[in-house]
Amino acid sequence: MASYVIGIDYGTLSGRSVLVDTADGTVIATSAFDYPHGVLDRTLPDGTPLPADYALQHPQDYLDVVYRTIPRVLETSGVSRDDVVGIGLDATACTALPLDQQGQPLCFRFPSEPQSYIKMWKHHGAQALANRLTRAAESVCPELLTSMGGSISAESFFPKLWEIWEQAPRLYEEMYEYMEVADWIILHMTGSAHRNGCAAGYKAQFIPGKGYPRPELFEKAGFCPKGRVTDKMPSPVVPVGETAGYLKEDVAEKLGLRAGIPVAAGLVDAHVCVPAAGIAQEGHMLMIIGTSACHMLMGKEAKEVPGICGFVDGGIMPGYAGFEAGQSSVGDLYAWFVSNCVPASYFDAAKAQNMSIHSYLSLLASRKRPGETGLLALDWLNGNRSILCNYDLSALILGMTMQTRCEDIYRALVESTAFGCRAIVDNFNTHGVRVDRFTASGGISLKNPFVMQIYSDVLNMPVEVIRAEVGPALGSAIFAAVAAGCYKNIQAAAQAMKSETVAIYTPRAENARIYESLYHEYMVLYEYFGRAEQIMQRLRSGYNR
């Protein structure tokens, strides 16, 4: 008898559900829903202005994803609710929100308070607090920084929680729990309050058997609320691959599902892609390339790698140390350029050829040889996540002349993101965590061969692309199949349900040779602007403030 599972994936701009056959991972039906409120980075819904570096979301959008997409995949597939045996879900992280004791988001009660909303992964409002936590950790618990690449990121959990205490103390007192959005959705669906071990490990520095960072860290940094900081995170941590709860009757009725089916512990969207790609061994890197890029890698043992987002034993898959690195702007960077720097004539030409503007720019840029544009760029439009771990950095384009055209800049920006990826790969290899195989997933990898060929040439290694357009959702479905008892472990489920490889880009020898030289130049700029000088930070601070 056939059985099916549902995987839910919450991305930056939308959420989606997939209905998947547990036998072979075939995606039977897909439904996506764009967040009506989008990203709140200028004002709240009521018009309240937001400071710079804020990136918030409305929790109602996340609920709407569940109630709009799950009934739709059931309806379009024709699958009986009796044959759906489990649910899994993932979300970006750290993407967290404050809740009251009943599990309700506080922005429903305080709609004009920015600190009451979901803080997205790319919310950088707490960068100064992250810096203070890093300095405190250097003296109080330097071993903590070992597992985090050497610094505490503004994108992680505790700086965002501290920001609430500092900016909205009344809200902090009202808050019962600060929770990752993936865990909140599971709480809503099951009534069971847990925190997933993936996000807890990578974003809140939770270590099984030891717990969260010691209170001395927060005291040294100056984060000193009444009671302990961890009082605002009382729910227990569930390890990767475990069941978090079972679907409540009232929710099941609204969704058209059976009550009582298992819901797997939540995961981070990038990490859950690894089994979707069929990766169950060390040395095989997966890059999820979308608005940002995450680079996931597993090793047999935990090792210190400076500048990465962190490593967690069992954080991606039981039995392996899972390493995470990333770039905070990739698709976002390309989209910024198209939205702000491309003349109308290019859009007209693209329309005349029935092409998207990205496809048209890629076509024009592909006619240039590596190095022909005379341009070199730094890909830090949204700061640097790895290896410099500094969100006060900004982007740079070097070498423009009166002959520079839009397609030249577009190519240089694509090359810059590939160089940034190469820096991450080289950093892993230099510190004893080998990368000997490279796979890409995500919309850009499927839609833009021009971009993927440049990545292969810059990395000087083959780049495999998997079919799954919804890799995280498929990964969540794979974990759901394990929670439902269809497979004994995630490795077995991944082998049976993985997405197939649809393209392999191999490096072109001459391009790789030229890019080796350009990458050296990129790293000169990388070190100068990223470490040696503070020019970008001074410019961002503003001389007129």
Q: What is the pLDDT of residue 290?
A: 87
Per-residue pLDDT at 469: 76
The pTM (predicted TM-score) of the whole model is 0.86
Q: How many CB atoms lie within 10 A of CB 428?
A: 24
pLDDT at 485: 97
Q: 444 by DSSP, 3-state: which?
A: helix
- pLDDT string in tens for the chain (545-residue length): 789 999 999 999 999 999 999 999 999 999 999 999 999 999 999 999 999 999 999 999 999 999 999 999 999 999 999 999 999 999 999 999 999 999 999 999 999 999 999 999 999 999 999 999 999 999 999 988 887 888 898 999 999 999 999 999 999 999 999 999 999 999 999 999 999 999 999 999 998 889 999 999 999 999 999 999 999 999 999 999 999 999 999 999 999 999 999 999 999 999 999 999 999 889 999 999 988 999 999 998 888 899 998 889 889 988 899 999 999 999 999 999 999 999 999 999 999 999 999 999 999 999 999 999 999 999 999 999 999 988 889 999 999 999 999 999 999 999 999 999 999 999 999 999 999 999 999 889 999 999 999 999 999 999 999 987 788 999 999 999 999 999 999 999 999 999 999 999 999 999 999 999 999 999 999 999 999 989 998 998 876 55
Q: Residue 87 — φ and ψ, nearest 5°?
A: -135, 140
**What top-level class would CATH report for the domain 331-466+508-541?**
alpha beta
Q: Where are the domains of the chain?
A: 4-277+468-502, 331-466+508-541
Contact at 8 Å (CB) between 272 and 498? no
Cβ atoms of 206 and 113 closer than 8 Å: no
The 321-327 sheet, strands edge to edge: 310-313, 321-327, 293-299, 284-289, 437-441, 463-466, 501-505
Between CA 40 and CA 51 the distance in angstroms is 11
Q: What CATH architecture does domain 4-277+468-502 belong to? A: 2-Layer Sandwich (3.30)
